[in-house]
Each structure stands twice: as C-alpha cells, then as structure tokens.
Chain A
Amino acid sequence: MHTHKIINGEQVALTTEEIAEIETQAAAYIPPTKVVPTKEELFSQMQSLQTQMQMLQAQIANLEK
C-alpha cells in the first residue's frame, strides 16, 4: 500500500492525488503475453529443420566415403 515518499531523507505522506496516480499506473499495466505460434508457422519451422537435417546427413555421408 502506498503511503509515503522520502524527500531529501525526510518521510512525507503521499497526497491523495499522488496515490491515485500510482494506482492508475498499476491498473493500466497490461503484462506482456507470450505469443503462441500458429500451426502454419510451426509447420514452416519443421520443414526448415528437415531441410537442415537432410543437408547434415549428406555432409556426414560424404565424410564416410
């Protein structure tokens, strides 16, 4: 609970306007939400990984020759 501020070392009670300002800030805050990827984005990522895996498998196969 907001009750006071300290000015140059001296504790001073908050005014009702200051308390209202702080409470407004707190109430207006919207926490960031985690972005959930779409099905299409996940499918695209999977295709990209499959391509990378195929390239790595080809490199390994060349080394084993």
Chain B
Amino acid sequence: MSFILSPGSISPPLTAGGVVYGTGPQALVTSAGTAGQVLTSAGAGAPTWATPASGAMTLVSSATASSSSYIIFTGLDYTVYKEYMIIVSGVIPSQSGYALCMQMSNDNGATYKTGANAYYFNVLFLGNPAYNNTSTNEAYIAFSTPGGLDSTSSFNGMNLNIYLNSLTKTSHNGIYYNGFAEDVSFGGAPIFGGGQLVGFSGPINAVRFFINIGRLLSSGTFKLYGIT
C-alpha cells in the first residue's frame, strides 16, 4: 500500500534532508543531520543521525552494468570522506581482448581528463609468465591483463579493489589497486597496480569506468565506499 504525505499531515513539518519514519499512529520527520552523517536505527524508537567512527566504510553508491557504455560516480567529496574505495566485480567486456578503463573529473563529471599524456600507470600481472607493464602518455588508467579481458561468461571477469586517496592534490592525483583478473590467453592471476593523473588540478570529484576502444561493459558490479 502506498500513500502520499502532505506537509500538513506530518509533525513536525517536512524538513529538507529529513527522513520520514513511523511511530505507529504517526509519521514524523527527522532533522536533516549534517553532511556525512548516517542514520542509525533505535529499534522501534526514533532513528538519529550520527557521525561514523573514523575509518568506517559507508556504501555511497552502487551500479550494475548491463551492456552499458559508462559507469559513473559523481559527488566525491573529500570534506565528507577522507578516502574512497571502489569494489569492482565480474567485469566482462563485450569483446575479448579489451581493458576496463578509468578516467577522472574535477568538475563533477561535466568533463573528464582525456587525451594523450593524461595518465601514467603501472600494472603487475602475476600470471605465467608474469607481466609488468609501465604505461605513460595514456588517455586513461587501464586495468587489464596481457591479452585483455575475456568476453565469455565462463570467465569471472575483472575483480578489483581500487583505492582512491590523495586526490585533493593539484597534480599527480593517484590511485592504487589489487585484484584478480582473467585473460584470454594467460588464464587467471592476481593483478596489482597504480596510476596517476599528470598535471591535473584537484580535487577529483567524479570518476567513470568504461571498456576501451568503444566496447561495452557487458556486465559487472561497481560499489563506491567512502571511508571517514
């Protein structure tokens, strides 16, 4: 059953950013809290806003790709969260041999840093044989294996923990990551790496993921966590 609450039926009146909760006979509204606070249950009592303990991880947003061109997270705010972690699982491209890629924005996703000389990254793939790639002058940070990711569902795709910190610097904003990736010709193996923007003013407040060379993200789950 659904119903519409009007300001006159709620006590106290609707508050911008407040959350409606029930007491049984009544619908009440919490205060707005402050940016970064989380709502804490009090059981059957009124929920309250509370500041997460330092180091706590909060799920900020999540997305599941389904033949998608981009997965985008905007609104990254380093006054709210000191660091961010993006957990990526089961990324499969629409065609074998291509890489998951990431670009960053400092205008909340209106534009992204692209073009030659934009990114620098290293990747270490501990397959057999091991593979160490240093890339400069790239238009994106690529998360890949030597032969590119496999597009068949028999593979588990790319799985990564991407850690974003120090993204408030005026240049050389960096990330690092670890994970497990599967490849057309090299099989599966752990993968480690890091990358950075070159000469790009922070703070970084949006990131986007895609498969390079115009391919699609057939599947994959992306979860953005903020860490206080």
Contacts and interface: CB of A to CB of B under 8 A. Distances in A.
- Give the contact-size bracket for chain A: 10 to 19
Contacts of A27: 214
Given A8-B75, A23-B214, A26-B213, A2 B109 contact: no
B86 to A, nearest CB: 13
A9 B214 contact: no
Interface string A1-41: 11111111101001000100011011101000000000000
A7 B72 contact: yes
A2 B73 contact: no
Given A2-B69, A18-B69, A22-B69, A8 B61 contact: yes
B61 A5 contact: no
Given A8-B61, A22-B214, A23-B214, A3 B69 contact: yes
Interface in B181-228: 208, 212-216
A8 B72 contact: yes
Contacts of A2: 69, 214, 216
Given A23-B214, A25-B213, A5 B74 contact: no
Contacts of B216: 2
B168 interface: no
B65 interface: yes
B109 A7 contact: yes
Interface string B26-63: 00000000000000000000000000000000000111
B214 A7 contact: no
B213 A5 contact: no
Contact of A25 (B62, B68, B214): B214
A44 B67 CA distance: 50
A4 B72 CA distance: 11
Residue picked from B64, B67, B208, B214, most chain A C-beta under 10 Å: B214
A54 B63 CA distance: 63
28 contacts: A1-B67, A2-B69, A2-B214, A3-B69, A4-B69, A5-B68, A5-B69, A5-B70, A5-B208, A6-B68, A6-B70, A6-B71, A7-B73, A7-B109, A8-B61, A8-B63, A8-B72, A8-B73, A8-B74, A9-B61, A9-B63, A18-B69, A22-B69, A22-B214, A26-B213, A26-B214, A27-B214, A29-B214
Q: Report the 10 A-B pairs with minimum CB-CB distance, sorted nearest first.
A: A26-B214, A5-B70, A6-B63, A7-B72, A29-B213, A2-B69, A8-B61, A22-B214, A25-B214, A9-B63
Interface of A: 1-9, 11, 14, 18, 22-23, 25-27, 29
Interface of B: 61-65, 67-75, 109, 208, 212-216
